[in-house]
Amino acid sequence: MSMLRIAILAFALVLPGSLALAAGEHGLEQVLIESASTPAQHQALADHFRAQAAGARREAERHRTMAKGYGGGKPPAESQRKHCENLAKSFDAQAADYDALAAAHDAEAKK
């Protein structure tokens, strides 16, 4: 079992009843973000966001590879290539955002 899953399970076990109910309505990730207060909880979130960043980077690379397959510049291949390149840029931006979130939670974990 991954460290994040262990942390989420442990954290969920100590959630007050109202927070546990909110987890079902709004997603466990949101509850963890809103209620993280210990270094371990912040570190678990940092690890989670690093994994999200890695996933976004994989998607960016996948779309860059697909864009290369649409080479040649003929329609509709040109529009498909641009589409893939735009998605790759978007995933790169997501990865950077997740890296920033991870860094912020790393800093909180060290307090």
pLDDT in tens, 50-108: 999 999 999 999 999 999 988 776 778 889 999 999 999 999 999 999 999 999 999 99
Whether residue 29 is found in the same domain as residue 48: no
How many domains is the chain partitioned into structurally? Answer: 2
59 near 84, Cβ under 8 Å?
A: no
Distance CA 64, CA 88 (A): 6
Whether residue 56 is found in the same domain as residue 24: no
Whether residue 13 is found in the same domain as residue 50: no
Whether residue 24 is found in the same domain as residue 43: no
Give the per-residue pLDDT at 7: 56
Distance CA 74, CA 57 (A): 28
Distance CA 18, CA 77 (A): 52
pLDDT bin (cut points 50, 70, 90) of residue 18 is: very low
Closest by alpha carbon to 105, among 53, 37, 52, 58? Answer: 37
Whether residue 43 is found in the same domain as residue 31: no
For the full predicted model, state whether its pTM sits above 0.95.
no
Whether residue 108 is found in the same domain as residue 92: yes
Whether residue 55 is found in the same domain as residue 72: yes
**Of 15-19, 30-34, 70-74, 89-93, where does the model show the most confidence?**
89-93
Whether residue 52 is found in the same domain as residue 24: no
Distance CA 33, CA 53 (A): 17
Q: Which domain holds residue 13?
A: 1-35
Whether residue 20 is found in the same domain as residue 51: no
